[in-house]
A and B are shown apart, each in its own frame.
Chain A
Amino acid sequence: QVQLVQSGAEVKKPGASVKVSCKASGYTFTGYYMHWVRQAPGQGLEWMGWINPNSGATNYAQQFQGRVTMTRDTSINTAHMEMSRLRSDDTAVYYCAPRQSWGTTFDYWGQGTLVTVSS
């Protein structure tokens, strides 16, 4: 069965960076793009982008370009999302969700990682 286990909650100061990890199991890690979606407290879902674990190619939503870096380590089936220059409005739960390149839906989700940005 597909399992996505994300790293634990983080508290960061404004201007700092955070790196969230997502360890996948139960499917072929390199066969599915890994997407990241975030959700601010009490707000809706916001798509951030994806990484192709096979090639390392990435595609970021425009609003995150220059601040987000998605990487992967295929030896341990883990994807990472790093965000720099954190602001208070980056406080959110960050989810990972795999999807095949031709797919249109998110069938499986990680449990989410709360990132709190506060001085």
Chain B
Amino acid sequence: EIVLTQSPATLSLSPGERGTLSCRASQSVSNSLAWYQQKPGQAPRLLIYDASNRATGIPARFSGSGSGTDFTLTISSLEPEDFAVYYCQQRSNWSDTFGQGTKLEIK
């Protein structure tokens, strides 16, 4: 099973600042990595697929990069609605795994 490790566990920033979240895979996943945002009481929402492609309707301030084992989600200028928990996810042959999440909180 491929393990995804996210860092940091918690990120404290102010609106307008740049947010950088990391996801590291225990073995190469090529570019097959996605990012999700989850707010309290809601299902996750797909933000980024194939490491760097924004899903439909996702603002341009969200961007993804990386390949192989190291990936980054960047939020260029934080809006109040961006404070949430973010998960990375990968699919291998027979199973999916999620990272443990990064909580982005208001400083």
Contacts and interface: CB of A to CB of B under 8 A. Distances in A.
Interface of A: 35, 37, 44-47, 59, 61-62, 95, 103-107, 109-112
Contacts of A103: 91
A92 B3 CA distance: 21
A44 B99 contact: yes
9 contacts: A46-B98, A47-B95, A47-B96, A47-B97, A47-B98, A59-B95, A105-B46, A105-B91, A106-B36
Contacts of B100: 44
Contacts of A107: 46, 55
B87 A45 contact: yes
Most buried by B among A35, A107, A112: A107
Contacts of A35: 96
Interface in B88-107: 89-91, 94-101
Contacts of B38: 45
B43 interface: yes
A34 to B, nearest CB: 13
Interface of B: 1, 32, 34, 36, 38, 43-44, 46, 49-50, 55, 87, 89-91, 94-101
A73 to B, nearest CB: 23
Nearest to A96: B43
B44 A109 contact: yes
Given A61-B95, A107-B55, 8 more contacts: A44-B99, A44-B100, A45-B87, A45-B98, A105-B46, A107-B46, A110-B43, A111-B43
Given A44-B87, A45-B87, A106 B44 contact: yes
B100 to A, nearest CB: 5
A95 to B, nearest CB: 6
B50 A59 contact: no
